[in-house]
Structure formats: structure tokens, C-alpha cells
Amino acid sequence: MMLLMVNSTGIPLEIERKFLLIGDSWRSQVVGEPKRLSQGYLCADSEKSVRVRIAGDFATLTVKGSRNGISRLEMQYTIPVADAECMLALCPSPLIDKTRHILMHAGLKWEVDIFHGENDGLRIAEVELESENQPISIPEWAGKEVSHDPRYYNSQLVKEPFSRWESDNCGSCLENV
């Protein structure tokens, strides 16, 4: 089964903004139960990525194109969890291990990811949009925007995990966190 995130033009696009998380006030806006995600990349370069993800008893294979601003082609397919487990074994280490919380703010669904393992300490809030110019209300718990910083792409966190960032390389990545 293919799951498409189709925008108003009918093209399967992911349009996403990412922010570092500030404090814990976001926790009062969580909807539903958090999900633990494990994901890896069969392929990841500047032109494309192929991601395998397991979230409980649900698994997906996602193909993404290169970024153009905060947009990129995205096609997602549901796959059997057993197949995803086999595919994750083919992915380079470390796998991305994170807990995802869903929140609603100003009519939009936000996802807060709390990373574990080699990316422990990293906390990101992201929101998917219908267009790059869609106005949004940025919540008080969303800090510095990192949408255009490739260090924060999950596919890059496999290659250069957060725990390996040097403080001078990271700059103010945890400012106000």
C-alpha cells in the first residue's frame, strides 16, 4: 500500500520545517501515545534517500528526492514488519532511534522527536505544510529553525550522529534548549 503526502498540486511532496525544541512546555499539548521509531537508510546522498522505518507493529519504506528549499518528493509504502527488520539489518549503523510525540498547535500537527542512542540529547520539532509559503504560528517551545541545516537531517545523523558533534562544530545548536 502506498501512502502519499500529496500537496495541492497533486505531486507527492514533503514540505517540512524543523526547529530545535525549547524546554518541556510542549508536553502538555501531546495528543495520543508516543511511538518509538527505529529507522535506517538503504541509500542516502544529496540526490535521494531510501528509508526503512518500524513504528511498533507498522513499517514503511520511503523514497525521498533531493531538497528544493524545504520541499522534496516523497513516496511512502507500507511493508511487512518482518521485511523491514531484514532491511534494517542492511542499513549502516547507527540506526536512528527516537520517540515521536504528536502535538496540535494552531490547527497544525507537529511532531516532536526525542532522539536516543548515538543521537541522545537531540530534540526536534517539525511541522509538515501544504506549501512553502504557508504561514504558521511558531509555538513558544520551538526554538532555532534548522530546516536548512543538513546536520539535522535524519539521513545525516546516521553518518554524523549528534553525540560526535564537537561543541565548536555545533555552535549554538542547543542554545535555549
Give the pLDDT confidence of 85-126 residue by residue, as tens digits. 999 999 999 999 999 999 999 999 999 999 999 999 999 999
- CB 42, CB 157: distance < 8 Å: no
Q: CA-CA distance, 162 to 144, in Å (whole number)?
A: 16
C-alpha grid cell for residue 73?
518528493
Closest listed residue to residue 115, CA positions, set 94, 103, 127, 97: 97
How does the average pLDDT of the chain come out, rounded?
A: 90
Question: 32-63 burial by CB neighbour count: b if 16+ within 10 A, else e?
Answer: eeeeebbbbbeebeeeebbbbbbeeeebbbbb
pLDDT of 173 reads 53
Give the burial class of 94: count Cβ atoms within 10 A of its Cβ; 0-12 exposed, 13-18 middle, 19 or more buried.
middle
Task: Please tell me the distance from the alpha carbon of residue 71 to that of residue 142, in angstroms, as a whole number.
Answer: 20
Mean pLDDT of 45-52: 94
Look at residue 176 and tell me whether its pLDDT is greater than 70. Answer: no
Task: Determine whether domain 2-170 maps to CATH 2.70.150.10.
Answer: no
Q: Is 41 a catalytic residue?
A: yes
Grid cell locating 106 = 494552531
More confident residue, 69 or 157: 157
Question: For the whole prediction, is pTM greater than 0.85?
Answer: yes
- CA angle at 95 for the pair 44 and 65, rounded to the nearest 5°: 25
Q: State pLDDT tens for residues 12-43.
A: 899 999 999 999 999 999 999 999 999 999 99
Q: Which of 41, 77, 152, 153 is catalytic?
A: 41
Domain residues of the chain, as ranges?
A: 2-170
The pLDDT of residue 166? 81
82: pLDDT strictly greater than 60? yes
